Amino acid sequence: MKDETSELIHGEAVEKDLALLRLKPNLQGYDKLRKTFKWSDAEELIDWYPDGKVNSAYNVIDRHALGMNKDKIALIHDDGQGNVQKISFEEMYRETNKFANVLAKLGIRKQERVFVFLQRSPELYVSFLAAIKAGAIASPMFPAFGPDAIRDRLLDSGAVAIVTDTELVKRVYPVRNQLPDLKHIVVVGDANSELGEISYEAEMRAASENFETLHMNPEEFQFMLYTSGTTGKPKGVVHAHKGIVQQTLTSRWVLDLHDEDVYWCTADLGWITGVVYGCLGPWSCGVTQVGLGGRFDPDRWYRLIEDHRVNVWYTAPTAVRMLMAKGDDLPAKYDLTSLRVLYSVGEPLNPEGVKWALDVFDNKPFHDTWWQTETGSILITNFPEMPIKPGSMGKPLPGIEAEIVDEEGNVLPQGHEGNLVIRPGWPSMMRQIWNNQSKYNEYLRNGWYYTGDTAQIDKEGYFWYVGRADDVIKTSGERVGPFEVESALIEHEAVVEAGVIGKPDQLRGNIIKAFIVLAPGYTESDELKKDIQKFVKGHLAGHAYPREIDVVKSLPKTRSGKIMRRLLRARELGLPTGDTSTLEE
């Protein structure tokens, strides 16, 4: 890994023809800006109330609806079956006002947690933004989650309301009686009033279109998103309204959004990319966003770009690899000339992916961007005005101090692998891990925010991702905690112990691999493994199940009983096993 990275560092850069951008990049003169930029400069991008307060959703919707962009299309929602809905900023304003009134009528108070558990649909954006307008902490949840994952999130956050639909609500009921704080279940579609469900449609019909978006202290919370670490249950990463400053700035400077752009982010709102760059940032810039329902389908993706003349496209490396695997004849069938700039995030983007785009999208490369649920917006990235070194994550955003350090916080010399750290205090940085101050504190050491990633910097200041410093698994760009999968596995009656790792995979970056010890009386078989996979999918999540399962006699553990995933991984990949002095046997 080390050699490969070093070699790439000396590799050829992709010089860009800026004429292909058609519009002047919003960020020009990076080197100078890095020296002169102050965060207070970016605060001008946002509308503040005269009392010094702010609301991110006011900036995302209201200010456009009340200004020149009133009739502009905010959302082109394509349900993937050929049904397209176009919704203007003014319509979004009215709809979000109505739903904010619905929440107020339910008695939702400031900073209470409102979960949104919906498939991609206009109602998803409306309920998420309305909750923020009403001063609640909005929390979107990925629609693939099953009852255990839902319980963990709603219970930990003390959620008082959930907005869901007729199908997804079925996954809430198995854990409903474990959620004492949950008072309201709002259902889009056919609500069952006998079960106490509240009908979204009926309430919306009755609600007023006028609502005064709440004035929030910039440090009050706009949304929270659960994400996985190495140990324990998922943790609630909490973001403040002030984050909208950086979410807006990066949408301009990095995604290079211009007024006339049609923009498409492929991420679901259940992940941070969907929240920040599939909703908040781009709308705060007043651009038209495209949303697509349904599953990944190369034909449909290309058709979407053609149909809606998408200019700016933000996607993920796994999707890029899947498109590449389909060959170049397919994109050749579509008119993709509307594309101006392309981005990716979530896992390393292979140099082949960057360069493939040059061939297929008329000399336009993918720009890799790096950030995390915790960082709240893009921190390290390739900018439109700069050459790209394929395989590199690019350079820090002006205003961001990023370094490579050792465990003591000492900055390592250029070219050395180490911990990727950021100087704390950027506007969109998480403010809390919900209910878990000690977890939050673990990120902050020696005056730095430790990202959990390892990386290195080359002599021109480009950052190169090396790997995770912990056991977090990135599968198809989605973040999965091994502990959650292990917990789901041992709930199956045939499994007494489980250890879970990420195993490198050409297409998905990593797949989830489980090592299990069977309970007495069970024997290994394909049927049993399939049953266990189905069980994990049903309980935890459709995407977070082990694609590979090995039955073992015992798992390597430390003397204190912790499973040594590092060792499982080393054995699986034929890597050196390193220090095993804490091994039990």
**DSSP codes of every residue in 442-493:** HHEETTEEEEEEEEEE-TTS-EEEEEESSS-EEETTEEE-HHHHHHHHHTST
Is residue 512 a contact partner of residue 546, using CB atoms and an 8 Å limit? yes
Q: Which is nearer to ligand PRX, 312 or 393 (by Cβ)?
A: 393
**Angstrom distances, CA of residue 172 to CA of 112, 148, 168, 264:** 19, 9, 7, 30
Residue 479 is a binding residue for ligand PRX (CB under 6 A): yes
Is residue 116 a contact partner of residue 141, using CB atoms and an 8 Å limit? yes
Size of the site for ligand PRX (CB under 6 A): 21
Q: Which is nearer to ligand PRX, 58 or 264 (by Cβ)?
A: 264
Residue 474 is a binding residue for ligand PRX (CB under 6 A): yes
Residue 543 is a binding residue for ligand PRX (CB under 6 A): no
Tokens representing 403 are 């370094």
Q: Using CA atoms, how far apart are residues 546 and 550, in angstroms rounded to an integer?
A: 10
**DSSP codes of every residue in 378-436:** --EE--TTS-B-TT--BEEPTT--EEEE-TT-PBPPTT--EEEEE-S--TTS--EETT-
Side chain identity, residue 13: A
Residue 347 is a binding residue for ligand PRX (CB under 6 A): yes
Residue 370 is a binding residue for ligand PRX (CB under 6 A): yes
Residue 368 is a binding residue for ligand PRX (CB under 6 A): yes
Q: Which is nearer to ligand PRX, 115 or 465 (by Cβ)?
A: 465
Q: Which is nearer to ligand PRX, 151 or 474 (by Cβ)?
A: 474
b/e map 307-334, b = 16+ CB within 10 Å: bbebbbbbbbbbbbbbbbeeeeeebeee
Q: Which is nearer to ligand PRX, 274 or 546 (by Cβ)?
A: 274
Side chain identity, residue 144: A
The span of 57-65, 367-375, 409-417, 430-438 binding ligand PRX (CB under 6 A) equals 367-375
Give the shortest CB-468-to-ligand PRX separation in angstroms.
5
Residue 360 is a binding residue for ligand PRX (CB under 6 A): no
Residue 281 is a binding residue for ligand PRX (CB under 6 A): no
3-state helix, strand, coil in the chain (%, to 5): 35, 25, 45
Tokens representing 213 are 């978006």
The span of 47-55, 257-265, 370-378, 536-544 binding ligand PRX (CB under 6 A) equals 370-378
- Give 199's strand partners: 187
Is residue 336 a contact partner of residue 306, using CB atoms and an 8 Å limit? yes
Give the shortest CB-136-to-ligand PRX separation in angstroms.
23
What residue number has its CB nearest to ligand PRX? 373
Give the shortest CB-524-to-ligand PRX separation in angstroms.
33
Q: Which is nearer to ligand PRX, 198 or 472 (by Cβ)?
A: 472
Residue 183 is a binding residue for ligand PRX (CB under 6 A): no
Instruction: Tell me, residue by residue from 392 to 431, as one string, x for binding to ligand PRX by CB under 6 A and - for no binding.
Output: -x--------------------------------------
- Give 517's strand partners: 497
The span of 86-94, 112-120, 364-372, 435-443 binding ligand PRX (CB under 6 A) equals 364-372
Give the shortest CB-199-to-ligand PRX separation in angstroms.
34
Strand 198-199 and strand 184-188: the pairing is parallel
The span of 119-127, 171-179, 326-334, 363-371 binding ligand PRX (CB under 6 A) equals 363-371
Residue 468 is a binding residue for ligand PRX (CB under 6 A): yes
Residues that bind ligand PRX (CB under 6 A): 227, 272-273, 345-348, 368-373, 393, 451-453, 465, 468, 474, 479
